[in-house]
Amino acid sequence: MLKEIDTALKRLRNWTKPRRVHSPMTTFRTSSRIRPEPYGSVLIIAPWNYPFQLALGPLVPTIAAGNYAVVKPSETAPQSSAVIARIIRETFTPAHVAVFEGEADIAGALLDQRFDLVFYTGGTETGRTVMEAAASHLTPVIMELGGKNPCIVTADADLDIAARRIAWGKFLNAGQTCVAPNFVLADAAIKDELQEKLIETIGRFYGAEPEDSPDFARIVNDRHFNHLTKPDARAKIVTGGKSDPNTRYIAPTILTGMDWSHPLMAGEIFDPILPIMAYEDLDTELIILKNRPKPLALYIFSNERETQDRILRHLPSGGAAINDTLSQAINTRLPFGGIGERGMCTYHGRAGFEAFYHDRAIVHRALKPKSKLIYPPYKMPLWMRRRMRRLF
């Protein structure tokens, strides 16, 4: 958050400058420029998994671009919502930034109002509802939605580094991260070795009993805990699998023995369960992945530049990281956002500022000389008519 604010403060004067553009002969004696102007009113609907950052993060470019805003924090994280509301009310006048707490019906009531832009972060299904409500007013939307993020590990990868970075990205916040690796697709030659290194890494991170670790999070509430997809008999638990509904604890779990037909491979896994599948031929897997919805994030662990580029060329995604996880979302100089069913538009840094303003085109024509060529009746000489045809 502080980095996002510092970047906006440092660069805002440059971002807001009108940009001059070339004026063609067909607009003789004109000057043309593009001036960034605010949309007006912006509704920000935030999720619960990173409640502070994902409510106030979009507010930074909203204000920087000159808009006024209404913020709806998630009711699923009520303590964070209370802190966000207090900060906003102490900092802004209600006419500049207002905040509304409450259940989902409050968000529904806000969506019934007419805004100039709606920014929503959350699940895909709720995103469809938000988009439908915005469409009734023809309001543009920015959507940051969840994703089924693949993590591909090739035979030449450094497995110690891969295991450490995959485990960190996946089990941070108990897997409740939209850009977390959702499943690992590993070369069959190194799949078992990677699996063992992941088990060792989990032990180093969280100890023999992750339930006792102060560094391992819990599922956000009972409703989410009870609705999590459980692995069936087609999956083998190689580590973890333990859960406790009283504390909403789910152990960091690794599954194997699965294929693309398993229910866990259908939707986003928003908990600390990581399936690992082996592949024999990478090209075959790339074809399968390309026919699935585009992911929010793509992770590649490979030391061969050619392989990295081949995967990036074949698999579109909102963002990607090579030999790392999550870092593409952490760098505030990089645009962050989804593609296809995983979202639309990007923000962070300059991309965020550009997402929250409208490029207004302005042309200024000089009063003199008073050309009559563009007005009827058209009696131009033949040579001039030919010249004009070439210009058009």
Q: How far apart are CA 244 and CA 305, in angstroms?
A: 44
CB count, 10 Å around CB of 334?
A: 14
Q: How far apart are CA 255 and CA 159, in angstroms?
A: 18
Report the predicted TM-score, pTM, of the whole model to 2 decimal places.
0.91
Predicted pLDDT of residue 282:
96
CB contact set of 47 (below 8 Å; sequence gap of 6+): 54, 74, 76, 121, 122
- How confident is the model over 247-256, as a mean pLDDT? 96
pLDDT at 34 > cutoff 90: yes
Average pLDDT over residues 290-295: 93
**Mean of pLDDT over the chain:** 92
Active-site residue set: 144, 178
Looking at 100-109, 164-173, 227-236, 345-354, which range is the least confident one?
227-236
Q: Where are the alpha helices (DSSP H) in 210-355?
A: 222-227, 282-290, 305-314, 327-330, 349-355
Give the residue carrying structure tokens 């509301």.
85
pLDDT tens for each residue of 96-153: 999 999 999 999 999 999 999 999 999 888 999 999 999 999 999 999 998 899 999 9
**Domains identified in the chain and CATH numbers:** 2-145+356-362 (3.40.605.10), 150-330 (3.40.309.10)
> Is the predicted pLDDT of residue 244 greater than 90, yes or no?
yes
Which residue's entry shows tokens 């259908």?
A: 266
What is the amino acid identity at position 207? G
Task: Answer yes or no: is pLDDT of 230 > 80.
Answer: no
pLDDT of 368 reads 80
**Residue 270 confidence class, pLDDT cut points 50, 70, 90:** very high
The C-alpha atoms of residue 147 and residue 180 are separated, in whole angstroms, by 9
Q: Which amino acid is at 133?
A: A
Q: Determine which of 182-196, 226-240, 258-272 has the lowest per-residue pLDDT on average.
A: 226-240
Residue 358: pLDDT band with limits 50, 70, 90 = very high
Residue 233, pLDDT above cutoff 70: no
Contacts of 251 (CB under 8 A, 6+ apart): 210, 211, 240, 241, 242, 243, 272
Q: Considering all CA atoms of the chain, what is the largest pairwise distance in Å, rounded to the nearest integer?
A: 90
Q: Which residue has the higher pLDDT, 320 or 26?
A: 320
pLDDT for 126: 92
Cβ proximity of 211 and 251 under 8 Å? yes
**What are 43-57's pLDDT values in tens digits?**
999 999 999 999 999
Question: Distances in Å between the alpha carbon of 339 and those of 105, 235, 282, 309, 336?
Answer: 28, 30, 23, 19, 10
Which band of pLDDT confidence, cut at 50, 70 and 90, is reported for residue 232? low
| 229 Cβ contact list (under 8 Å, min separation 6) | 263, 264, 267, 269
Cα–Cα distance measured from residue 246 to residue 218, given in angstroms and rounded to the nearest whole number:
11
Beta bridge partners of 186: 153, 278
What does the pLDDT read at residue 29? 81
What pLDDT, on the 0 to 100 scale, is given for residue 94? 95
Contact 140, 119 (CB under 8 A): no
The residue whose two tokens read 């009734």 is 136
Among 19-23, 107-111, 313-317, 369-373, the minimum mean pLDDT is found in: 369-373
CA distance 223 to 181: 23
Compare 384 and 308 and report the one with higher pLDDT.
Answer: 308
> Taking a C-beta distance cutoff of 8 angstroms, is the pair 86, 67 a contact?
no
Question: Which residue type is seen at 96?
Answer: H
Tell me, what's the pLDDT at 231?
A: 65
At 229, the pLDDT band (50, 70, 90 cuts) reads low
Which pLDDT value is given to residue 392? 64
Give the number of other CB atoms < 10 A from CB of residue 256. 19
Torsion of CA 217, 58, 139, 145, to 10 degrees: -30
Taken in order 86, 88, 94, 100, the sign of the CA dihedral is negative
Q: Is the pLDDT of residue 93 over 90?
A: yes
Residue with tokens 């990205």: 169
pLDDT for res 153 = 98
Give the pLDDT score at 369.
74
Can you give the pLDDT at residue 239? 94
Mean pLDDT over residues 157-172, rounded? 98
Neighbours of 216 (CB within 10 A): 22
d(CA 218, CA 49): 11
